[in-house]
Structure 1
C-alpha cells in the first residue's frame, strides 16, 4: 500500500504504547505499538500537516500548511478545536510544542518567521506572547520539562535562546512582545532542531550542519 510521506511524530508520554504521526496527506494517525496496528486516522487539516504533539493521554494538537493549530480529543473524533490561525492564511505553521508542565500553553512557529507564538488554549486566537529576538527564521522550539515558564527556541541565525515567560503572560490584554531571552548560545550555523532532555533537564540537544551538540543549561 502507498503511504504518504510523514512529516513528524510524537510519543505519548502518558500512554507509551501510543504514537501519533502527521503526514502531507492532511491526516494524523494514532498507532498502537503493542498491537502493531493503526488505532485511528483523522483528516486533521485542509492542507499538509507538519507537526503533532500530545497533551493529555487522549488529546493531541497539530499544525499545518493551512495556518492553523488544532486540538483533537480521541473521545470525539468527529470534531476539533482551532486555537490559532496565522494572521496571513497563506502562512504555514511548521512546528509546535505542548508545555507538559502546564498544559494550558502551546508554542508554535510560522514559516520564515523570527517569532515564537505562545498560546493559551483557554483563550483561542490571541497569543499570550510573541518571542521575537531571533534575527532569522525559527526552526524549532522545546519547553523545559521541569519548569513551566521556560522555553528554548533555535533558528537560522545559529542561536539557541532560552526564555522565561513572565507571570503576566497568563492573561495579558495584548500579546507580550518585549520579552528578552535569559540565556543565549551561538552555534555558528543554522540550528535545525532542539530537544530538552526530560530525564536530565540540565541538558539541551541541538542539531546543526552535520552535528548534534549537547548544551548544559
Structure 2
C-alpha cells in the first residue's frame, strides 16, 4: 500500500502485515504530492504527481526482489518492519515528466494495443498515464 501526508513531499510504502512503519520511502518531489497510482498491470510501477509540476515513475521491483531472496519475505518481496531494521529510502525515479503547471491528479490506463495516430505514426503497445494540470489533461505513454 502507498500513501503520503497532506502537504508532504515523500511517499511511504507500507507492508499491510505490519502497517505501523513504512518499509520504503520515496523521496524526490520538491513540493507537496497530490496524487499517486499503481500501474494497472502486474508490474510494480508507481506514479506520483505533485505541485512541483512533476510526474515521477518509480519501479519498485528491484527493491522488492532483493528482499524476496530472503526466505522470510518470499511471499511479497517486502519485509515486515522491525524496530532494528531501517526502511529503504529511494531517491531516483526511473522516469520523470515535467508539466506546465502543478499536476493535481493522475490515472493509469489499462494495457493498450498499438494505436494509429492521425499523423500517420503508430504507437507501440503499452500503458498510458493521464495527468491533470491547470486547465488541461495530457496522456503520457510509459
**TM-score bucket (shorter structure):** 0.7 to 0.9
- The within-5 A match list for 1:50-69 is none
2:100 matched to 1:188? yes
Q: Counterpart of 1:170?
A: 78
Deviation at residue 197 of structure 1 after TM alignment: 0.8
2:45 matched to 1:144? no
Give the number of the structure whose residues are more often strand, by fraction: 1
Q: Counterpart of 1:52?
A: none
2:124 matched to 1:213? no
- Spell out structure 1 runs of 4+ moving beyond 4 A: none
Higher relative contact order (CA 8 A, sep 6+): 2
Deviation at residue 199 of structure 1 after TM alignment: 4.3
Q: CA RMSD in A?
A: 1.6
How many residue pairs get matched? 112
Give the number of the structure whose residues are more often helix, by fraction: 2
2:32 matched to 1:120? no
Structure 2 unpaired stretches of 5+? 68-76, 113-125
- The within-5 A match list for 1:1-217 is 106-165=1-60, 166-167=63-64, 168=67, 170-171=78-79, 173-200=85-112, 202-217=127-142
TM-score by length of 2: 0.73
Work out the CA distance in 2 between the residues paired with 1:199 and 1:141. 18
TM-score by length of 1: 0.49
Work out the CA distance in 2 between the residues paired with 1:136 and 1:129. 19
